Amino acid sequence: MATDGKKKPTQPARSNNEIQTIMLQYFYDRNNAATSARGKRGYAIKISDIRKELKTSHDLSQQEVMSNLNYLLSQGWVEEDKVEKRAP
């Protein structure tokens, strides 16, 4: 089979420091535009939504987001707000 030779252009690998800077700027911008703590315009966000938005906006992989998010959490740059859901 012949292929058309078109490949998705690859970006040079980003350092963890660059990824962390991107993520911190993302969280800052989100907080700055927030109108509430939770909800669509709130500063709190699910991890799955963080992964999706950073994939779309900066082409970061799930592994890049999660490893750097864990680092930011461990260093106190980002706080985790656990929400417990109750079953009726």
Whole-prediction pTM? 0.73
- Tell me if 7 is assigned to some domain: no
Among residues 12, 32, 26, the alpha carbon closest in space to that of 72 is found at 26
pLDDT by position in tens, the chain (length 88): 555 555 555 667 889 999 999 999 998 988 888 766 666 666 677 888 889 999 999 999 999 999 999 999 999 998 887 777 777 7
- Tell me if 57 is assigned to some domain: yes
Domain count across the chain = 1
Please tell me the predicted confidence (pLDDT) of residue 9. 58
Query: 26 lies in which domain range?
Result: 16-32+42-74
End-to-end CA distance of the chain: 57
- Tell me if 84 is assigned to some domain: no
Please tell me the predicted confidence (pLDDT) of residue 87. 75
- Tell me if 25 is assigned to some domain: yes
